[in-house]
Every structure is written in structure tokens, then in C-alpha cells.
Structure 1
């Protein structure tokens, strides 16, 4: 067995036949992986830097002294998905460059002009189909159900020549770890060891190995072990996986991303624009730490280690996803902001919130800052504003040392007219009346309003965010048991308005299906203890109490409740 780095010309070329085992599983990559792949390739072209694409296991299957049209025959034991994706991408890139001959010269056998990569039973026809294409346009016939054809179609539609226009830079920088097995090596044993028994190294594990060794065990125990591995509870906290962007990441990796920003946003390090962009990539965070230490800290690891324990302890005290399962206060504070961060998946706030927690000792000021951030995010959620610029925006607050409520308000007000601006009251009202939010966001809006306006002396306990379900007061299937509309246009308007916030409520238990779609009086009263209605299920909920006194529930009542909710939000999330 031999393992070494290799680029694509060293693996797939015009004199080597690589065969996917005939009964190998089919190609299974989907759009989320194709999107990430394109982002990675654009990064390679922009910065002309090496990019590791994964491991390939190849086994020698050549037959000695056999007269063939290729010099070498190899079996692809592992790596089918990434190698297939890469070749499809290169095919589309060459077509878009109007240079299909480059692809054929490099990836078809010299003698027979067959493809150098031969697929198995499941994908051979689809792979040949996309490799025979002469134009980078989606394939729309019956073959489009194949994931391989779908990959071709995705790249044909999304590969932009403005960011991906350099074939040579791609093939010169994309690297694999190539593991070559001899004819007698047991490929199944090696495959199982790499894919089943092996565990992928996380960012935190790579950093632990970088910062500590057998020569500084005491530092490891004092700085790392005492926080991240102190006991089972600590380990469980740091291992908790949180949705961040398109992927799930453990809290310890999210911490190291947020902690890193405390350094790279500081003006004193004078970090170049290109390095800041590179350091922002979470998939290369461990390498970025090392680059930062070597380039901007003179190789002194203590720049990072000196405050690591303090920040990690503060992070653990500040960010708690289990607040989503407990009662939260009515006033602004970190408990409510944790609902915004973890319940509503706005994890881009974390670096700046960590910065505030470390640098503001006055709790009243800190809570006021948290309230401004909650108001900003929730106003934008109600109005369906984009979250695209959140990372850049919140990091700019660290870079500009925004540490007072007035400075934060001023900074947000400056954003007027941009796609990061604060929605004003007119926009907020329009959002309550017309926005159709995803269920999670609707639940978050109603829950945070409910927690704020709930009377302190209420006999009914406010449950945690995760314990509530979203309910449509007028059901989506209203045609079954509700009064008909005068015209089809009126019915269409009803279908639209019932999706808005005025018709939505949070309740601590889901209604029985037979109650959910019943007429209004039955939906309120239920059908006995076995099938309770809204009156019982929603007892004590301030955001719903007045609605349950209505004898009818219609478009007029929905609009009136939307206006009432808007006034509560206007008072809570002030500009």
C-alpha cells in the first residue's frame, strides 16, 4: 500500500483506465454538496491556493502482458462520489469555456476514445450521457432523474464564468490523497478501517493537536482540559450539535470560530483583506489559526492561549441552547437572545455577542445591547428581510468596537436604504399584515411577543420555545367546514391571508386532526377531554385570549389581530 498526494492529471488521464466496481452503489450527491463544491472551486480560482478534495483508494487490476488500449487498469475502491463530481464539473467548465477538446484530450483513452473513468451498473449510461454532451445546457428528457444527470444540470445552470474561468488553476490546485493498493492487498479491510472505524477529525481536535503536545501537558490541563473536558456535563455541552448555516456543527467548533473573530477583527493586527476572507471559511479554521499565529503573531501561540480559557468559560455561560426548552423572562437579556440565536438559527450573532459579553461589565447596558440586537433581527424576520449580510455586518461591529447602545443604534441607523437596514414601523406593520413566514419564524415572533406581554401574575406557566406548536386559527382546509367564499377570487385571498401572522397562534400541544379542521365553534370547544379545543389548549396565552372570545373567525378578525400583534411588536422591538 502506498499513500501520497496527487492531482487529477496524475490519477485520471488518457493512458489509465479507472473502473468503478460493477455493483458499486450509485452516485448519491445532492444539491447541498454541489453548491458547496462550486463554492470551493471558486475559492481555488480566486486565491490560486491548493484545495484538498478527499481520499481515493485505487487497486491495481492490470493483467500482465495483455494487449490493451491503456497502460494501466485500476479499480476505484473508494472515492467514487467526489471523483465523479469533479469530472462532471470539469466537463461543464470546458464546455462553458468553448474548449471541449481539453476535456477529451485529458480524460479519454488515446486509442479507443473511451472515457478514462468507467462507471458500474447503476450509472454507466448516465455518466456516458453527460460526458457526450456538446453544450453546457440542462438535460431535460427522461434521463434527468439520474443524480449524475442532475449534477450536470446543476453545474450547467450555476457555474458562473465570472468566478470560475480558469481550468488550469483548478486542476493545478485540487489535490487528493491517493492510496494505491497492490493486487494482494485486502481492499475491504482497508476501506472498512478508513470509513467505518475511523472518525473524522474536528476543528477542535486539530487545534488541540496544534497547540499542545507531550511537552506542555500542564498547559493542556490548565487551559483546555479544565474547560472542554472538565466532566461529562462539560463534554456534553461542547459536543452539542447546532445548525449553523447549511450544516450542523458542535458548539466547540462554533466557539473556536467566534473566538478567532475576536483576534482577526482587531485593527492592531492589520490583517490583509485576502487573509480575512480566507480566515472566514469555517471549513479551514484550523489552518487559519496556524496561519494567523505564524503570519501575525510571530509564531507565538500564547497570543491565542492566554485568553482561551476565559473566553471559553464565558461562552459556556452565555450561549445555552437549552434556553429553548425553559421559561424566559419578559425583559431583554441573554435568555431571550438565545432563542433568537438557537431557536431561530441566527448563529451569525454569536461572535459579536461574545465580544459584548467579554467587554461590557454593566449588566443593564449589556441587556440593552441584547435588546437592540433582538429588535433588529426580529423586525427583519417579520418583514422577510435577507440574512445574507449578517456575518459581515456583525463582525464589523467588533472591528469598529461598538460597545454602547447609542453607538449600536447609530451604526444600525446608518444602514438605512441598504439591504441590511432596520425595517421601520410602516414596514413592520405591513409584515404583520402580509408576510408569510416559515413556521419556525412565525413561532418565534409569537413566542417572543407572548413572553413579553404575559402578566407576571399569570397562573399559567410559560413553557419553553420548543414546547409550542404553531396552529392556524382558520385551517388551511377551511373548505371542508367553514363558510364558502362569494367568488373564487375571495377564496384565493382567504387562502393567502390565513398564512399570515394574524391567523397564527402558538399552543402547547397540537390539536387532534379532527379538531384542527373543524368549524370555528368546534375548534374552540373541542370534543370532550379526549379531543380538547383551543379554549383549553391555549388557556392563559395572552396572544390568543381575545381571539377566543370571537363568535366568528374571518378575514376581518385576522386583519384586526395582525394590527394588534403589530402594536405589541412595535412597543417591544423599538427602533
Structure 2
């Protein structure tokens, strides 16, 4: 291994091309990174100083074809090359010849010097062929557009001098590996403490590095496309879904999935292993896969669970739910609550083909989530119990016994739930109350005998306090002070869901006006009377303490009927 200061021109012209392995992650830098890089480079140019950009690690090819593999630094190399392409496009045509070997592959004028990873190769190549989405704000094209804007006001001569400066100044540290050195060890050492890559990226790199070593790159690419790209990286929507951070510990969905899979398979022990060690634990397991069949089987199993988890991808504002669809109901509640600690158990449950067993187990998990979510009780400590919990997840009674007898769970009791439903005070409780009322509405519809009633609803409703939070003007007869008012306003019985928010001038009106409208404004409670939770309000001549408490009792009974472990 050799490390030394170097400039961009030397790094790229010493090779015919630079290859970014097909399995490396997509281009992730954004405007914050672009701005910092451009400002630092331009300030150094104006002041004639040196700015250190970062390190680049290359592994030279051992054959006759003169190319190097980019082990680390693909984000900064990509960004730097795009900046140079912007400058190249703006300078006089007769000056471009000085930089062609920095941007284009030797002997191939139309191929970029950097052969990009599979995800970004098409866009990156299109950019160098001057096929650019000029409206893009993100990714490869967004980077080009940003630098294009930043350089608009600068003269041709200044851009030429700037381009010379950043090409020839030693602003990189180049680390070069020989063909026989293990790049994965180097890669691990530079990424194990920092955060250029998340656990999913490191695991993916380890998997397909192993595939190349077991067989060859052609086979590795084939199984990558079949088992990884098709489910994690098929399009931009899917990529964004998997890199979205969720849960209290803000891990990406892909990390959450891979952690769940490791728990289910048993090579991650929640009692002793740490989430921060997930990639290391995976790499240890991957090293034990000795042949093509073992590795492909392992990837196929991951794909099975990815497809189950991908049901979350189908949840949108347009999704229609019905109470008896227990799978969609659970996914919706998990999505709203953002309580993802039980995902390993959920995936394990849905792996079974027994629908009756799925429904039984989902009811248990859903009750756990709702009771902890509504009462704000912390669930972070449950991570350590997951391995043990998974052993019980194949049988409803065993799982219930585990929950009831494990002190760490202490499932909120019925009394605690009823008390909480009388005191939904916090800002986040509007979201919780909306969730409760939405599913109670669907629960009641599922009980209706009238088949004409629509049993499916989309979650498009807004929460309304019947006795308003600003109560003093039109509701003063029901309370003597703020404390008395709050005891009524924040009960679940004083809340409902409407098709659209009431006009601000109507929200605080008296009961008769809020219920029936004033003849001018479009919305009122009566306009959402197709909802069962609102039909029961239509004959109320007054809305007072007795009515609120009576409705709170009814809704609390509904809650306990839906979300109890029996």
C-alpha cells in the first residue's frame, strides 16, 4: 500500500479509466456538500492556498488493461469530475484539449474517465454526453446544475485558470493498493468508525465482494440484479423508501430489515450483540458461506423478507383500509406510530402461510404498539428482548405468556388506557386521537349489518375538538377556569374526525353553529355525518360535560374491545 499527496490530474491520467464497483451505493451528496466544496476550492484559488479535499483509495488492476478500482472516495471523485465537466463546457473550445484526458477515457472520447456504479452509470454517462435534466435538484444532474449556476457570472479566462488550479494542485491523498491486497479490509478500516456508509452499504459491499471471490464478477452482477437491485434499488421511489430513517433510533429501513433478518436467522443475538456491530456480525456470517449455493440461498432469503417489508411501500394517502384487513391495519398503525421495534416479529409472523395464525399474532403486536404509543411509554429497551420474543412468536399463547410475564414489557393496563383517553394533552396526541378514531370508525362499520355502508376508508380526516380549545367566548357556561375546561376538551369523547378542517371562524363557535354550520361556510360537523362517529352527534341539542364523559366511556370501551390481549 502506498499513500501520498496528489492532484486530480495525476490520479485520473495514470489510468485509462477508474472503475467504481457495480455494487457501490448511489451518489448521495447534496447542495450542502456541493456548496462547501465549491466555496473551499474557489477561496483557495483566489488566495492561492491549498485546500485538502480528502482521500481516494484505488486498487490497481493486475492485468494488461490499465485501470484502477475505486475502493473509497467515489462521492468526492464524482462531484469533482462533475465540477470539471461544468467548467469544461464553459471554457473556449480550443482550451478544452488540455483537460480531455482528465474527463474522458483514453482512446474513447465519448466515455467518461470514471466508469460509475450500476445505479448511477446511466445518468453519469448521459451527463458526459451532454444529455442533462436541467431541472434536477438532486443527484448527478442536480450537482451539474448547481455548479453551472455557481459559475454563471465568471469570465471564460477565470474559469480556465480555476480549472487548471483544481486539476494540478495537490488537494487529495491518494492511497494505492496492489492487486494482491485485500481491499475489503482497507474498506472496513476506513468506514468502521465514521459514517460515510451505513450498515446496509457495508453489508451489500461484503456480500458482492464475496460473490466475486467465490466465482467471478459476471456471476456477482447477475445475482446482484436478481436479489438486491430488484428489491432495494429498482427505481428512485424504492431507493428513497429504503434509505428513509425510521423509529426512535433513526435507522434506515434497509438497516431495520437487515437487523430483523439477522435476528430471525439467529446470527444476531439481541441479548449480547449491539446494533452498532450489525455490519461486522453480517460480515462474519458472510465469511462462513463457502460456495455459490450458500450465498445465493442467503440472498434469496433476504429477498423474501424484503418483499414482506415492502408492503409498507404500498401505504400512501390514497390507501383504503377496512377493519378486517389485519395486515394493512397493522402496517398503517406501525407507520403512523413509528414504533418499529417489533418489525422482526412482524416479518417472522408474515413468513408463515397460515392466515389464521397471522391474524392472531398481528392482533397481539398491534395491541402492544397501540398501548405503548397512546401512553407514550418507551419501547427502546425491547430491542434486547427480541431474540427471546421471536422464539415465542410461532404460537399466540406462548407470545402472550411471554408479554404478560416479562417485567420489561409491563403492558399498560385497561385503567391506564382509560385514564390516558381522558387526558390527551400533548401536541402529538392529536395524531394519536386521529388514529384511534379512524380505526374505531372502521371497527364500527365492520359491525354494521347494513351492507350499503362503505366499509373502506382512506386516512384523509382531520381531528376536531368539539368543545374548542379557545372556549372562553362561546363555551364559558361549561367551565369556570382553564383547568376545568381542559378536563373536558382533551378527552377522546370531545374529539372527532372530519373530511376537512373547520374554518377558523367556525372552530370556536357555539355547539349549534359548529354542528349545523352558519349557512355561509362550507364545512361543519354535519357535513361529515356519513361517519358513524359523527352520526351519534346529530341529535345532541347541547354539548356539555355529561355528553363528553358519556362519549368518552363509549369510545374507551371500543378501544379496549379492539386492542386487548386475550
Give the whole-Å Cα distance in 1 for the aligned partners of 2:553 and 2:501.
Answer: 26
Residue matched to 2:207: 211
Which of 454, 457, 461 is the equivalent residue of 1:463? 457
Which of 263, 280, 289 is the equivalent residue of 2:265? 263
**Between 252-261 and 335-344, the greater mean CA deviation after superposition:** 252-261
**Between 558-567 and 539-548, the greater mean CA deviation after superposition:** 539-548
Pairing of 1:332-343 with structure 2 (within 5 A): 333-343=326-336
Which of 417, 421, 429 is the equivalent residue of 1:428? 417
User: How has the CA–CA distance of structure 1 residues 231 and 451 changed in structure 2, closer, same or farther, with 3 Å as cutoff?
Assistant: same
Which of 542, 564, 573 is the equivalent residue of 2:532? 542
How large is the Cα RMSD of the aligned pairs? 4.0
Which of 474, 477, 493 is the equivalent residue of 2:470? 477
Residue matched to 2:223: 222
Give secondary structure in 1 for the equivalent of 2:475: coil
TM superposition shift of 1:381: 2.8
Residue matched to 1:381: 373
Equivalent residues of 1:333, 1:368 under 8 A apart: no
Give secondary structure in 1 for the equivalent of 2:394: coil
**Between 231-240 and 325-334, the greater mean CA deviation after superposition:** 231-240
Equivalent residues of 2:464, 2:497 under 8 A apart: yes
User: How has the CA–CA distance of structure 1 residues 250 and 340 changed in structure 2, closer, same or farther, with 3 Å as cutoff?
Assistant: same
Residue matched to 1:67: none
TM superposition shift of 1:292: 4.0
TM superposition shift of 1:486: 5.7
Residue matched to 1:48: none
Give the whole-Å Cα distance in 2 for the aligned partners of 1:529 and 1:3.
Answer: 74
TM superposition shift of 1:421: 1.7
1:277-321 Cα offsets, whole Å, 9 max, x none, are 2xx23xx54344214444xx3777976652332442343245324
Give secondary structure in 1 for the equivalent of 2:463: strand
User: How has the CA–CA distance of structure 1 residues 423 and 248 changed in structure 2, closer, same or farther, with 3 Å as cutoff?
Assistant: closer
Which of 521, 532, 555 is the equivalent residue of 2:523? 532
Residue matched to 1:568: 558
Give the whole-Å Cα distance in 1 for the aligned partners of 2:335 and 2:170.
Answer: 41
| TM-score (structure 1 length as normaliser) | 0.58
Which of 239, 244, 247 is the equivalent residue of 1:245? 247
Give secondary structure in 1 for the equivalent of 2:376: coil
**Residue 364 of structure 1 pairs with residue 360 of structure 2:** no
**Residue 510 of structure 1 pairs with residue 501 of structure 2:** yes
Equivalent residues of 2:441, 2:533 under 8 A apart: yes
User: How has the CA–CA distance of structure 1 residues 243 and 2 changed in structure 2, closer, same or farther, with 3 Å as cutoff?
Assistant: same
Equivalent residues of 1:259, 1:311 under 8 A apart: yes
Give secondary structure in 1 for the equivalent of 2:464: strand
TM superposition shift of 1:368: 1.0
Residue matched to 2:307: 316
Paired residue total: 384
Give the whole-Å Cα distance in 1 for the aligned partners of 2:239 and 2:370.
Answer: 27
Give the whole-Å Cα distance in 2 for the aligned partners of 1:257 and 1:306.
Answer: 18
User: How has the CA–CA distance of structure 1 residues 485 and 526 changed in structure 2, closer, same or farther, with 3 Å as cutoff?
Assistant: closer
Give the whole-Å Cα distance in 1 for the aligned partners of 2:364 and 2:304.
Answer: 25
**Residue 307 of structure 1 pairs with residue 298 of structure 2:** yes
Equivalent residues of 1:468, 1:509 under 8 A apart: yes
User: How has the CA–CA distance of structure 1 residues 474 and 302 changed in structure 2, closer, same or farther, with 3 Å as cutoff?
Assistant: farther
TM superposition shift of 1:242: 4.1
Give secondary structure in 2 for the equivalent of 1:389: helix
Give secondary structure in 2 for the equivalent of 1:209: helix
Which of 451, 476, 489 is the equivalent residue of 1:498? 489
TM superposition shift of 1:263: 3.0
Gaps of 5+ in 2: 7-31, 33-39, 55-164, 173-194
Give secondary structure in 2 for the equivalent of 1:476: coil
Equivalent residues of 2:465, 2:496 under 8 A apart: yes
1:422-453 Cα offsets, whole Å, 9 max, x none, are 22322222222234352222222222222222
1:360-406 Cα offsets, whole Å, 9 max, x none, are 221111111001111222123333333232323344312x2421111
Equivalent residues of 1:436, 1:499 under 8 A apart: yes
Equivalent residues of 1:323, 1:464 under 8 A apart: no
Residue matched to 1:553: 543
TM superposition shift of 1:459: 3.6
Give secondary structure in 2 for the equivalent of 1:548: coil
User: How has the CA–CA distance of structure 1 residues 486 and 421 changed in structure 2, closer, same or farther, with 3 Å as cutoff?
Assistant: closer
Residue matched to 2:383: 391
Give the whole-Å Cα distance in 2 for the aligned partners of 1:264 and 1:211.
Answer: 18
Equivalent residues of 1:413, 1:421 under 8 A apart: yes
Give the whole-Å Cα distance in 1 for the aligned partners of 2:361 and 2:265.
Answer: 21
Give the whole-Å Cα distance in 1 for the aligned partners of 2:461 and 2:479.
Answer: 35
Give the whole-Å Cα distance in 1 for the aligned partners of 2:292 and 2:466.
Answer: 58
| TM-score (structure 2 length as normaliser) | 0.59
Which of 436, 441, 450 is the equivalent residue of 1:450? 441
Equivalent residues of 1:255, 1:312 under 8 A apart: no
Pairing of 1:14-163 with structure 2 (within 5 A): none
1:492-512 Cα offsets, whole Å, 9 max, x none, are 121243123222222232221
Pairing of 1:166-185 with structure 2 (within 5 A): none
TM superposition shift of 1:353: 1.0
Equivalent residues of 1:502, 1:558 under 8 A apart: yes
User: How has the CA–CA distance of structure 1 residues 361 and 231 changed in structure 2, closer, same or farther, with 3 Å as cutoff?
Assistant: closer
User: How has the CA–CA distance of structure 1 residues 249 and 385 changed in structure 2, closer, same or farther, with 3 Å as cutoff?
Assistant: closer
Pairing of 1:401-412 with structure 2 (within 5 A): 401-412=392-403
User: How has the CA–CA distance of structure 1 residues 508 and 487 changed in structure 2, closer, same or farther, with 3 Å as cutoff?
Assistant: closer
Give the whole-Å Cα distance in 2 for the aligned partners of 1:370 and 1:552.
Answer: 40
Residue matched to 2:480: 487
TM superposition shift of 1:348: 1.5
Give the whole-Å Cα distance in 2 for the aligned partners of 1:444 and 1:190.
Answer: 54
Give the whole-Å Cα distance in 2 for the aligned partners of 1:499 and 1:530.
Answer: 26
